[in-house]
């Protein structure tokens, strides 16, 4: 589909047809990126998005176990040297 670049205030833009927006499910906010002379428009991503679901899946799969074991004398420095 071809579109025209139009003036919007001091900027320029394009109008995205409703069918394109519906198919892409972009939402109200997007991330823009330029790569190899192409403008890439993606659905906005947010830090920690979907973490709750990912943690739930980790727990279900047993992937939420502590990997580091504490040695008996590993925290001795904290007890002897650290001033609280």
Class assignment of domain 1-66? mainly beta
Integer angstrom CA distances of residue 47 from 27, 39, 44, 50, 81: 17, 22, 10, 9, 37
* Token pair recorded at residue 81: 């040297």
Predicted local confidence at residue 29, as pLDDT: 92
Predicted local confidence at residue 82, as pLDDT: 72
Predicted local confidence at residue 71, as pLDDT: 65
Tens place of pLDDT per residue across the chain (84 aa): 888 999 999 999 999 999 999 999 998 899 999 999 999 999 888 888 889 999 999 999 988 888 777 666 666 666 777 776
Predicted local confidence at residue 67, as pLDDT: 79
Asked if residues 26 and 43 have their Cβ atoms less than 8 Å apart, the reply is yes
């Amino acid at each position: 589909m071809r579109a025209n670049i139009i003036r919007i205030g001091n900027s320029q833009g394009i109008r995205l047809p409703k069918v394109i927006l519906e198919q892409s499910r972009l939402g109200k906010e997007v991330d823009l990126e330029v790569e190899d002379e192409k403008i890439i428009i993606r659905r906005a991503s947010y830090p920690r998005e979907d973490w709750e679901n990912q943690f739930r899946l980790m727990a279900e799969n047993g992937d939420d176990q502590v990997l580091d074991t504490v040695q008996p004398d590993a925290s001795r420095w904290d007890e002897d040297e650290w001033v609280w």
